[in-house]
Amino acid sequence: MKHTYRKIAIWRYDGSVSELPDATDLALVFKALSNPTRVRILQWLKDPDSFPPQLEPAEEVGVCLKHIQARAEVSQSTASQYMAALQSAGLVTSHRIGQWTHYRRNEDRIARLADHIRTEL
């Protein structure tokens, strides 16, 4: 008697369909977090006021890239790419004000991620 697997299809509200609760999407988020520096940046952003002062209040709009770069001790291009990775994973949001791009944690998403791991992983 040959064993077979029934693939479980999930229909989402947005119309997309996947075999299981998006193992692929989940893996993409984990990939963004697979770098120690990116993890540290996310941790640092829990306390935006630990960064140097800036024109716009960090608590509200986030921390500007320059400060993140300095603290992470990586090149400007690397810092920019790190934040882009975190953003496309949905873990941070960005706010452009004038010539500055500010990054802030997406607390909603991060909380949902923890929940996701607890229930679906």
Partner DNA sequence: TCGTCATATCGCGAAATTGCGATATACCGA
Partner DNA sequence: TCGGTATATCGCAATTTCGCGATATGACGA
Q: Which residues bind its own copies (CB under 8 A)?
A: 3, 5, 19-21, 23-24, 26-28, 30-31, 33-40, 42-43, 50-53, 71, 110-111, 113-115, 117-118, 120-121
Count Cβ atoms below 10 Å from residue 45 Cβ, excluding itself.
22
Q: Which two tokens stand for residue 105?
A: 């944690």
Q: Give the nearest distance from C-beta 11 to DNA in angstroms.
A: 26
Rounded distance between C-alpha atoms, residue 111 and residue 92, angstroms:
12
Widest distance between CA atoms in the chain: 70
Residue 85 three-state SS = helix
Among DNA, its own copies, none, residue 45 binds (CB under 5-8 Å by kind)? none
* Of 20 and 97, CB closest to its own copies: 20
Q: Does 74 bind DNA (CB under 7 A)?
A: yes
Q: Which two tokens stand for residue 93?
A: 């949001």
Of these, 66, 104, 109, 116, which contacts DNA (CB under 7 A)?
A: 66
Q: Which of residues 3-62 bind DNA (CB under 7 A)?
A: 31, 34-35, 37
Beta bridge partners of 96: 101
Among its own copies, DNA, none, residue 50 binds (CB under 5-8 Å by kind)? its own copies
Beta bridge partners of 103: 63, 94
